[in-house]
């Protein structure tokens, strides 16, 4: 039976977690039947290497400390900020304000992937995103499922690919990542945005997401993508109930066993509203910060957030006081 290894993270003496700011001495060895705690030196050496090795830089950005990815949605219908940035100028101005607030990466998206969102043609998505990217000098990622949109974004100056379908939507995405050498975020999702929230089911959400990401990493490597250029993301809210989201957050450190940096995107999402009783998405900042810090406390290297300056402040205090 397949065994999975979740490092029990700490901050004292121990082995470094992904070469970063946390350590671990013990590991939860998990099977689909149960789990037990074992010492780190009892973990198979290949897994232990993936759990401890420093991660490669992402587009020149070192991951020895948590990094902030600021969200720039050029869409009319994103769940929390849709319709605010429908001109190139407004999107560029917002991107500049996120940069000033401390964003290390700007994530530019031209198609909402919130539950129930409508499909956007590649030409429309390119028209929304490429001029914005061309107007920026920052480190930019393109949030798209479509290879033609990603290609146009790279030509306009983007250096990171962010695919919420985890390479399932467009077979051209992995070859594009391979040929361009751009790092790619492979996010876990099921179905598509129209239908993904209709009764999502898993045997064991944490282990199922781990296995699905491992399969997509293998697919990417098969297409020629270097493993150290792959970022993984559990896909909070994408084909997941509230319980699924919480199980993934609590068990997040398991994903370090994939040997790739972890990106966490929980900002302002519905479960934060549900658990806090706050309906308006732009009022969910405090809950978003709490989840972001919970992610960092499990070694997530990149936080995808709407509220960049607030996240930077929270991170600075978290780092100083732990």
List of residues contacting ligand HH2 (CB under 6 A) = 71, 73, 75, 78-80, 109, 112-114, 143, 162, 164, 185, 187, 233, 235-236, 263, 265, 304
Return d(Cα 158, Cα 194) in angstroms, integer: 27
Choose between 48 and 103: whose C-beta lies nearer to ligand HH2: 103
Q: How far is the CB of 18 from ligand HH2 (least distance, A)?
A: 18
Residues annotated as part of the active site: 269, 304
| Residue whose C-beta lies closest to ligand HH2 | 265
**What Rg, from alpha-carbon coordinates, does the chain have?**
19
Q: How far is the CB of 65 from ligand HH2 (least distance, A)?
A: 19
Q: How far is the CB of 77 from ligand HH2 (least distance, A)?
A: 7
Return d(Cα 265, Cα 316) in angstroms, integer: 19
Alpha-carbon distance values, 1 to 31, 56, 213 (Å) = 7, 31, 19
Choose between 187 and 205: whose C-beta lies nearer to ligand HH2: 187
Q: Which residues contact 270 (CB under 8 A, 6 or more apart)?
A: 79, 115, 237
Choose between 105 and 254: whose C-beta lies nearer to ligand HH2: 105
Choose between 259 and 261: whose C-beta lies nearer to ligand HH2: 261
Return d(Cα 261, Cα 302) in angstroms, integer: 8
Q: What region, left, alpha or beta, does residue 271 occupy, with left being phi > 0 and alpha being psi -120 to 50 degrees? A: alpha
Choose between 185 and 196: whose C-beta lies nearer to ligand HH2: 185
Q: How far is the CB of 311 from ligand HH2 (least distance, A)?
A: 14
Q: How far is the CB of 258 from ligand HH2 (least distance, A)?
A: 15
């Amino acid at each position: 039976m397949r065994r999975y290894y979740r490092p029990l993270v700490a901050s004292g003496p121990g082995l470094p977690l992904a070469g970063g700011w946390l350590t671990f001495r013990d590991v939860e060895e998990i099977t689909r039947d149960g789990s037990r705690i074992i010492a780190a030196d009892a973990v198979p050496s290949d897994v232990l290497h993936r759990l401890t090795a420093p991660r490669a830089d992402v587009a020149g950005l070192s991951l020895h400390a948590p990094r902030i990815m600021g969200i720039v949605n050029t869409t009319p219908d994103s769940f929390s900020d849709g319709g605010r940035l429908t001109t190139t100028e407004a999107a560029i101005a917002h991107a500049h304000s996120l940069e000033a607030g401390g964003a290390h990466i700007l994530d530019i998206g031209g198609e909402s992937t919130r539950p129930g969102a409508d499909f956007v043609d590649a030409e429309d998505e390119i028209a929304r995103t490429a001029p914005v990217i061309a107007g920026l000098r920052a480190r930019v990622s393109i949030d798209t499922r479509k290879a033609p949109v990603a290609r146009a974004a790279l030509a306009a100056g983007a250096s990171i690919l962010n695919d919420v379908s985890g390479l399932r939507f467009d077979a051209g995405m992995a070859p594009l990542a391979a040929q361009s050498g751009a790092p790619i975020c492979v996010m876990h999702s099921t179905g598509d945005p129209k239908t993904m929230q209709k009764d999502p089911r898993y045997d064991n959400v944490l282990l199922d997401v781990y296995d699905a990401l491992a399969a997509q990493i293998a697919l990417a490597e098969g297409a020629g993508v270097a493993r150290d250029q792959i970022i993984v993301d559990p896909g909070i809210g994408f084909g997941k109930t509230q319980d699924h989201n919480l199980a993934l957050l609590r068990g997040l450190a398991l994903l370090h066993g994939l040997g790739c940096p972890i990106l966490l995107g929980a900002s302002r999402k519905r479960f934060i509203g549900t658990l806090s009783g706050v309906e308006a998405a732009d009022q969910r900042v405090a809950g978003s910060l709490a989840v972001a810090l919970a992610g960092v406390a499990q070694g997530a290297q990149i936080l995808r957030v709407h509220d960049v300056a607030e996240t930077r402040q929270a991170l600075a205090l978290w780092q100083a006081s732990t």
